[in-house]
Structure formats: C-alpha cells, structure tokens
C-alpha cells in the first residue's frame, strides 16, 4: 500500500501556516486545501467540517479524481470537485488553496476583478484576478463556473460572494499567491476608497511580465 505521509504532512503544515496568518479560521473550517498526489490521479485534501487548528495528518483525505476514497477516515471537503477540476484542467497546478481571506472577499462581494496593478503580482499571479460567478458551495454549477475561468492561466481568482481560489505549481507557491492576493486586494480596496483614478500597468508592461511568467510557470 502506498505511503501518503509526505503529502498529508504538507497539507497539515500549510494549513497551520494559513490559520496562524489569518487565511483560515481557527475554530471554523471555512476554506479548504489540497495537493496533487505525484504520479497518481488523486489528491490529498482537508476534511469537511473539522476545525483546522486541531487537524491531524490522519484527518487528511486521499481521494481519486472520481472522489472515491483511497485513504480517508472522514468525508473530504465539499469543494473537492473544484480542486479536482483544477488539476484536470491545469497541468501547471499542483496545489490549490481556497480561503475566505478578508480583503479578497471584500472585492468578491463588490464583484470587482483586480486588474494588473503591480509588477510582482502580474509576474506571480497573472494579468488579472478574475471573478468566478457565484453558485452554491459544493454545487456542480460552481465547479463548472471555476473550470470556465481557468483558461486565463492566472493563479488566483475571486469567487463571487464567497472568497478566493489560489493555485500554485507547488504548495509554497500557492501559499505565496494567497498572501500576494491578500496584499493586492487590500491595496486595491484602499485605493478605490480614495475615489481617485486608479492607474494600471500599461499593456506593454503586462505583455512583458506575461512573457516572463510563461518562462517561469506555464
Ligand atoms: Zn468557501
């Protein structure tokens, strides 16, 4: 029987970091995290409805792409189909983090994509943080809404009236993208609040950083 300890440990360690830094609740379990299991059509994902602060490695679920349990003591996150949909449609992604982080969630309820504003964000996340249209959590409609937006090759999205979806080539990159997204969402929110005109990167700058990004990630 295959040993999934390494990928389970990675989920627990990143969950702890995300809880400690305010991306996930300490007592609530909003949001979910997964990693692609190397060499298999399977994912390691956080369980449904368990507080993240006390999560143990044995609580992490290993499921296949049809959501059948391979090694799972609990039910997987109700958003497992979203994570699987990402892995099936984006070969550049090996880790997925869904959070209810504050400033990204603010922009998700005013339904405002984040354009290319800052160099680092445009290189790491992409030319836009687009909106995934609202549907009920756990619904097939939300899965198809997510899949419908993945073609822009970006690494972060806002789920309308819900939260954020952050992707990465590995877990470290997905966590870094969650942090970068929160920073830019906070900056954009405060800039919008001034009522002044927002300056965006020029198209030639966007193209330049898109080329740089392709060499690094896509
Ligand atoms: Zn959620």
Instruction: Record the tokens describing residue 108, joined without a space.
Output: 């998700």
The per-residue pLDDT for range 32-41, each reduced to its tens digit, is 999 999 999 9
Q: Taking residues 192-206, report their average pLDDT.
A: 96
Higher pLDDT, 28 or 158: 158
Per-residue pLDDT, 218: 57
pTM for the full predicted model: 0.95
- Taking the centre of ligand 1 as the mean of its atom positions, its distance from the CA of residue 197, in whole angstroms, is 32
Instruction: Record the tokens describing residue 98, joined without a space.
Output: 């869904």
- Taking the centre of ligand 1 as the mean of its atom positions, its distance from the CA of residue 175, in whole angstroms, is 16
Regarding beta strands 130-132 and 61-64, do their DSSP bridges make them parallel or antiparallel, or are they unpaired?
unpaired
Confidence of residue 217 (pLDDT cuts 50, 70, 90): low
- Taking the centre of ligand 1 as the mean of its atom positions, its distance from the CA of residue 204, in whole angstroms, is 35
Per-residue pLDDT, 26: 79
- Taking the centre of ligand 1 as the mean of its atom positions, its distance from the CA of residue 39, in whole angstroms, is 28
Mean pLDDT of the chain: 94
**Angle of the 171-194 helix axis to the 102-109 helix axis, nearest 10:** 60
C-beta atoms surrounding 57 within 10 Å: 15
The answer to whether the CB of 210 falls within 8 A of the CB of 127 is yes
Judged against a pLDDT cut of 90, whether residue 46 lies above it is answered with yes
The per-residue pLDDT for range 142-198, each reduced to its tens digit, is 999 999 999 999 999 999 999 999 999 999 999 999 999 999 999 999 999 999 999
108 by Cβ neighbours in 10 Å (0-12 / 13-18 / 19+) ranks as buried
């Amino acid at each position: 029987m295959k040993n999934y300890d390494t990928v389970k440990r990675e989920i627990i360690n990143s969950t702890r970091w995300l809880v400690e830094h305010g991306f996930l609740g300490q007592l609530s379990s909003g949001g979910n995290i997964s990693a692609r299991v190397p060499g298999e059509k399977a994912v390691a994902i956080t369980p449904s409805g368990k507080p993240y602060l006390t999560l143990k490695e044995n609580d992490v679920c290993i499921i296949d792409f049809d959501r059948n349990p391979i090694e799972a003591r609990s039910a997987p996150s109700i958003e497992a189909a979203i994570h699987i949909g990402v892995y099936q449609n984006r070969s550049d992604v090996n880790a997925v983090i869904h959070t209810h982080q504050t400033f990204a969630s603010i922009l998700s309820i005013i339904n405002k994509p984040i354009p290319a504003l800052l160099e680092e964000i445009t290189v790491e996340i992409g030319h836009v943080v687009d909106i995934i249209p609202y549907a009920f959590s756990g619904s097939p409609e939300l899965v198809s809404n997510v899949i419908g937006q993945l073609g822009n090759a970006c690494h972060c999205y806002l789920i309308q009236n819900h939260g954020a979806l952050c992707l990465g080539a590995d877990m470290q990159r997905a966590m870094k993208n969650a942090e970068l997204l929160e920073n830019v969402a906070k900056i954009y929110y405060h800039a919008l609040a001034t009522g002044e005109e927002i300056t965006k990167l020029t198209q030639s700058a966007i193209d330049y950083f898109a080329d740089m990004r392709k060499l690094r990630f896509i």
